[in-house]
Structures are given as C-alpha cells and as structure tokens.
Copies of this chain bind each other. A is one copy, B any other.
Amino acid sequence: MVKYQTPMSPDRLSRTFAALADPTRRAILARLSGGERSVTELAAPHDMSLPAISKHLRVLERSGLIARGRNAQWRPCQLQATPLKDAVDWLEQYRRFWEESLDRLGRYLEELQAKPAGRKPATEKGRRGR
C-alpha cells in the first residue's frame, strides 16, 4: 500500500529559512537593506535572466521577507522586518547552547596552548567512551 504524499504548504518559518538558503536571494536582501530597489536594479549584479530574478523575488515575497509596491512600470521591492526577527528569535533559543559550547572549546584550546606541545600521556588511552 502506497501512502499519499500530501503536498503540505510549509509554515512561514520554514519558508523564511528556505528563502534564506540561496546566495542570490541573500544578496538581494543585502541590497535591499540600503532601501527600496526596482527589479532591474536588483537583477543588475547577477549573471542571470530577469525571469530568474523574478522567481527569486516571488520566493522572497511569499516568505514575507520583502513586499512589493507599484510605481508606474516599476515594482519597487522593500525589505520586511518580521520574518527576519522571527528567524533570529527561533535561533536565539540556542544561544545558551552555542555560547557554552564555544566557551568550552576556547578554554580547551587555551589549555593546550599552556602545555608544551607534543606531550602524549599514556594515561589518556581509551578514554573515548566518556
């Protein structure tokens, strides 16, 4: 019996991270942090067709990371705050973890530095299973 593959549309956090997972799109966001830009302005630095950029913009829009206005034949794009904040808020819940983790690593490296190099104490053998 073959199970159904329900095509569930992802939640917004997922769409945000997915949108951020592409260098072209991150470059577009970086450009937009300098203010509103038209599609052709955004496309200029990229070696890519206009429709390709248009698709990237649609991904960014559907994630909420940008909003598009209308000004004559231009569709100015604007960076949006909320999804960025939501993404960082989700990541923040791990801050304690990574800070402690990198701290431990730092102290370990210092310890190595303190001792003369090339020491290879036999008592360390077989302690991997800790």
Contact = CB atoms under 8 A, between A and B. Distances in A.
Interface residues of A, number: 37
A88 B92 contact: yes
A17 B14 contact: no
A56 to B, nearest CB: 13
Majority SS at the chain A contact face: helix
A79 interface: yes
Contacts of A18: 17-18, 21
A98 interface: yes
B10 A14 contact: no
A91 B87 contact: yes
Interface in A61-93: 71, 79-82, 84-85, 87-88, 90-93
